[in-house]
Amino acid sequence: MRVLITGASGSGTTTLARALSGPLGSIAVDADDYYWLPTDPPYRQKRAPDVRLRMILVAVDAAPNAVVSGSVVGWGAEIEDSFDLIVFLYLDAAIRIERLRAREIEVLGSADPEFLDWAAAYDEGPPSGRSLAKHRAWLAERSCPVLRLEGDLSVEERARRVLDAVARLATGATS
C-alpha cells in the first residue's frame, strides 16, 4: 500500500504521515527530504528533478508499504501515478501560516517572511510552487481514490478517516 498525504505547506501532511506509519506498518517519507539539498540554513537549494525522483523511488520501493508526505506534482509519472490512495489536506490559510511561523521559529530560530508570504498565497496561487489550483488540477488527473480532508481536524481524526479509507480499499468497498 502506497499513500500520499498532500496539501499546502503547514496543512499537516508530515504529521499525518508519521501518525499513519505505525498503524499501516509503513515507512514515512517526506518529499521535502528529496526535493531540497541539505544546506545550512536548510531549504536553500533544490535537487535536480531526475535525482530527487530516483532517490524517492528507491526509498519507497525498498518498503512494502509507504506513506509519502508533501507535494510530488511534476516529479514524474513513476511516483505521481504510483499511489493506491491520495489524501488531500486543506486548512484555512491563517491556521497554516501560524503553524509555519511557530515551526520556523522552533526549528530555525526565526521565521522567513518571504517563505510565509509564499505559503500564504497558496489559495490564490503563488507565482511558483504549490497552489490550490495546481493541486486540484493534479488531483483530477489521478486514477487512484482521493480522500479530501478539510478543516482543522485533530491528527487522530484525520488518521481515523484515512485508516477507514484504506480498510475500504482493502475490502474492495467503494464508499
Report all structural domains of the chain as residue ranges with CATH numbers, in order of start: 2-171 (3.40.50.300)
- Summarize the chain as % helix, strand, coil (round to 5): 45, 15, 35
Angle at Cα 35 formed by Cα 31 and Cα 39, nearest 5°? Answer: 120
Beta bridge partner(s), residue 123: none
**According to the model, what pLDDT value does residue 127 have?**
64
Percent of the chain at pLDDT > 90 equals 88
* Contact between 96 and 119 (Cβ < 8 Å): yes
Backbone φ/ψ region at 42: left (φ over 0), alpha (ψ -120 to 50), beta: beta
Which helix (H) or strand (E) segment holds residue 90: the answer is strand 85-90
Percent of the chain at pLDDT > 70 equals 97
User: What is the per-residue pLDDT across 149-170, written as a single tens digit (0 to 9) for each?
Assistant: 999 999 999 999 999 999 999 9
User: What is the per-residue pLDDT across 76-123, written as a single tens digit (0 to 9) for each?
Assistant: 999 999 999 999 999 999 999 999 999 999 988 999 999 999 999 999
User: Mean per-residue pLDDT for 42-64?
Assistant: 95
pTM > 0.75: yes or no: yes
| Sheet arrangement for strand 146-150 | 27-30, 66-69, 2-7, 85-90, 146-150
User: Mean per-residue pLDDT for 6-13?
Assistant: 96
